[in-house]
Structure 1
């Protein structure tokens, strides 16, 4: 069944063409096309993500039905190859700024979580020769930070599949949040830099199982540990050249299979159970990656150049931000009996079977765009 095309109409209200022009000037890109402009490409990539088109050839057959200017697949491919992907990255940042909550904690100790991780999109090596990954595979990475409990996309950057996650971490940091990350981000010297900054970066990061604890001191506790907590101590991390300068707190727990989970943090006033709960929130980014891959065509890369690949991926993430915003604003606007989960909203929006209250809400989304 054909998906609703109303999302494109809403997108044009939220990011009209004139909002794109300053970015084009900043990137020194001159759009000489008249028949198929950069903005047309933007709308095409948005619709392709939402409707999960198979590629440029498939989109060529469908775009006219969505009210878009019809061009052949070779024109689509050439345009996607030519337009710098940094444009779509800036548009994503713009959408995040428009749709995410306006108020953030600036002073004091942060309470919200910034969950950071990466996902790799792989294809055959022959398609992306500039991005070798493993063996006969090529791949690119999206390094993502989301706001825990909110599901809000906060920051994104890109690398090829071989680049380590740690290299992208500085681009995702935000001292207004508690950083939550897995073992790929557990470098001891980096912890020292977090601790020594004027505005400290608080964190809960998993360590590798073979991490050395130097000068460990168990923290005093009157009651026995609850749940899966096994130890709570402070120490320097590593040894020799990799020894941290500062002492950090380490909480050790067991996963359901009995394997150790070692967490390092500079949150010394939290209970060990609280530290464990913070780390368990990390599963939310795995859910996010699974959702965008299943619903926004992320694994199907249309082009073969960095501009085409990253332009497609950033536009798909922009559509996620817009859908999330429409869902949250709609749930606040409709009667309690008409409230939906995000999964149901996406499914019903896709099938054009949203309840009447939701259709009325989307028809008046121009009012919402004046708010954001």
Structure 2
């Protein structure tokens, strides 16, 4: 990127990517060994631009290169859809995974500075992305369907903001429970997940290793009550008890805490946890935060492009999902750097409107409207 581009809003947005480290990884993989035009860096920048603008096809991405400002950062004036397709199928997903994890580490450092003593709340879930059976036979999981599954660990930040921390992509027929131990790999955190991850042996191991969790228990789960705790009369908690999980033939070795409450529709929710140091209402609130990952998946599917893909190979699909996650993390880093009060969607709208303008204009708009929101003044956007 030239000097002018570095000072543009787009240049500032992507500036947190460690391009020197990226270049070293590219050299190790040999991706640019015989490349004269579409280098791995140009590919990354072009496809980030495509995600930001939700380009619908490779042809649309190629047509976007007619933009002279985009040409300056790419180093070429035209590209064909076939060239884009070849590169998209050649780039090793591990290259993009390294960028994603590096951005996650930067976000984590920001959060540790602002909340040094807080135990992270991490939400685990998955979403299935359906694919055409005709074009994606390698991802078949039903007689008439294909698809991939994105297993995700999401960190719940202050004020309900979130960021993805770890991602695993598998065929859609992979059971969620098989990825639980992959996504739970740190002790200093509180994990929240739904009943699809219930596994009594794993729960016992979590208890023994001091890994905190809260999960919804299945309706037909067998429990044996050891002790019942008193619940305040005005509490939304219906019951709070210490239990063993499972039948006499196959029962947990450790005791867990079972909390019964109701959701916003009045449906019964049974929450199992190994936290005995928190109020039952706090546990209920922690579990309800799991909804944040559903909203995150909804955001991804609505505001970046992961519902349809630019390529039909497994590599192309994985690359596109990683670039979507990188797009999200780059916006989170801007939000943290500017202390923005606006949503990521609003930040991205302003970014697209001021893409090639000096980045100060983008930041000034963010800060101006953040101050208005802090004062309680309605923000006209």
Q: Same fold (TM over 0.5)?
A: yes
- RMSD over aligned Cα, in angstroms? 2.8
Give the aligned partner of residue 224 of structure 1: 233
Q: CA deviation at 1:351?
A: 3.5
Q: Count the aligned residue pairs.
A: 347
Secondary structure of residue in 1 paired with 2:182? helix
- Structure 1 residue 155 and structure 2 residue 166: aligned? yes
Unaligned stretches of 5+ residues in structure 1: 333-338, 364-372
Matches within 5 A, 1:30-41: 31-41=33-43
- Structure 1 residue 180 and structure 2 residue 192: aligned? yes
Query: Structure 1 residue aligned with 2:95, among 84, 87, 90?
Result: 87
Q: Structure 2 vs 1, CA of residues 237 and 41 (structure 1 numbering), >3 Å: closer, same or farther?
A: same
Give the aligned partner of residue 48 of structure 1: 50
Unaligned stretches of 5+ residues in structure 2: 1-6, 366-381
Give the aligned partner of residue 330 of structure 1: 338
Query: Structure 1 residue aligned with 2:214, among 186, 194, 204?
Result: 204
Query: Structure 2 residue aligned with 1:238, among 243, 246, 250?
Result: 246
Q: Do the aligned residues in 2 keep the contact of 1:146 with 1:153 (CA within 8 Å)?
A: yes
1:35-77 Cα offsets, whole Å, 9 max, x none, are: 1111121112211111100111111111231223321111111
Q: Do the aligned residues in 2 keep the contact of 1:84 with 1:307 (CA within 8 Å)?
A: yes
Matches within 5 A, 1:100-119: 100-102=108-110, 104=112, 111-119=119-127
Q: CA deviation at 1:330?
A: 1.9
Q: Do the aligned residues in 1 keep the contact of 2:309 with 2:317 (CA within 8 Å)?
A: yes
Secondary structure of residue in 1 paired with 2:253? coil
Give the aligned partner of residue 61 of structure 1: 63
Whole-angstrom CA distance in 1 between matches of 2:162 and 2:200: 28
Between 248-257 and 273-282, report the one with greater CA deviation. Answer: 248-257
| TM-score normalised to structure 2 length | 0.83
- Structure 1 residue 165 and structure 2 residue 176: aligned? yes
Between 96-105 and 141-150, report the one with greater CA deviation. Answer: 96-105
Whole-angstrom CA distance in 1 between matches of 2:96 and 2:258: 40
Whole-angstrom CA distance in 1 between matches of 2:93 and 2:87: 11
Whole-angstrom CA distance in 1 between matches of 2:261 and 2:165: 29
Q: Do the aligned residues in 2 keep the contact of 1:151 with 1:284 (CA within 8 Å)?
A: yes
- Structure 1 residue 309 and structure 2 residue 320: aligned? no
Whole-angstrom CA distance in 1 between matches of 2:247 and 2:57: 51
Matches within 5 A, 1:281-320: 281-320=289-328
Whole-angstrom CA distance in 2 between matches of 1:220 and 1:12: 52
Whole-angstrom CA distance in 1 between matches of 2:326 and 2:140: 26
Whole-angstrom CA distance in 1 between matches of 2:359 and 2:102: 28
- Structure 1 residue 74 and structure 2 residue 82: aligned? yes
1:170-205 Cα offsets, whole Å, 9 max, x none, are: 2222222100111111111110111112xx110011
Q: CA deviation at 1:314?
A: 0.3
Between 149-158 and 291-300, report the one with greater CA deviation. Answer: 149-158
Secondary structure of residue in 2 paired with 1:276? helix
Q: Structure 2 vs 1, CA of residues 47 and 109 (structure 1 numbering), >3 Å: closer, same or farther?
A: closer
Give the aligned partner of residue 335 of structure 1: none
Q: CA deviation at 1:254?
A: 2.0
